[in-house]
Structure 1
Amino acid sequence: MKVPTGCMFTHIIRGKGRKITYQNAGVDCGFVGALNSGFCNWRIDFAYADTNNRTYRTSRGKTHRECKIGPMRNNSPQTLPHYGKACAHLYVNGVRRVTQCHHITK
């Protein structure tokens, strides 16, 4: 499943190496996408995997019962124990709708 037409799922990471100073993920909708009823019962999780693609940490977001056109979540700064990847997942009604990942390298 994808986000509605006119919407994009964004995942932003700032930092250097394994140190993440800022992380945010959310949905941006414009034009036709802004006319939909929004995302109901949504949450955003952040997951971290090593270079062997084994997930070693997940920061599960709160499930929001209200409907929102532009759901968004920030995560705390942190230093990861491994290189690999950091992903953001959008869940709607308990079903993962979209994922975006960044590779974390030296």
Structure 2
Amino acid sequence: MQTFEYSVGGASLKIPTGCFFTHVIRGQGRKISYQNAGVDCGFVAALGSGFCNWRIDFTYKDTNNRTYRASRGRTHPECKKDPMRSNAPQRLAHFGKACTHLLVSGVRRASQCHHITK
């Protein structure tokens, strides 16, 4: 994740290099038994104020890269150093990709995808 700045209530917050957006997915074929996404920060980055006005979304795309399902997370107004979200187990309609996205103050800051194949 690259360093970025954003404003909350007139205060400028900076997210330093050293934070990683992770996406864990378990299952077989089109069946997802576990899915989780979150931010891990190390070293100096762990000392910051965290992420404010954040949300984590999950999206699912077919092999033609068309989104056919989305699970929008709720926006969290509080600041958190390690935002995280899990999604319910499910069976996908198509092979393709399962992606997750971190949004901070409505701006997509990081994404990660896993290819779902036979």
TM-score range, shorter chain: over 0.9
Counterpart for residue 12 of structure 2:
none
Structure 2 counterparts to residues 8-87 of structure 1, below 5 A: 8-87=20-99
* Structure ID, larger Rg: 2
| SS of the residue 2:56 aligns to | strand
Distance 2:99 2:44 in 1: 27
Cα RMSD, aligned residues only: 1.1
Counterpart for residue 93 of structure 1:
105
Structure of higher RCO (CA pairs closer than 8 Å, 6+ residues apart): 1
Distance 2:2 2:34 in 1: 26
- How far apart are residue 58 of structure 1 and its match? 0.6
Structure 1 unaligned spans of 5+: none
The percent identity for this pair of structures is 76
Give aligned pairs, total. Answer: 106
Distance 1:51 1:36 in 2: 39
- How far apart are residue 26 of structure 1 and its match? 0.2
Query: 1:83 is aligned with what amino acid?
Result: F
Output the TM-score relative to the length of structure 2: 0.87
Output the TM-score relative to the length of structure 1: 0.97
Structure 2 unaligned spans of 5+: 4-15
Distance 1:57 1:87 in 2: 11
Counterpart for residue 7 of structure 2:
none
Counterpart for residue 103 of structure 1:
115
Deviations along 1:62-95, one digit per CA (max 9) or x if unpaired, are 1000000100000000000000000000000000
Moved over 2 A (4+): 1-4
| SS of the residue 1:49 aligns to | strand
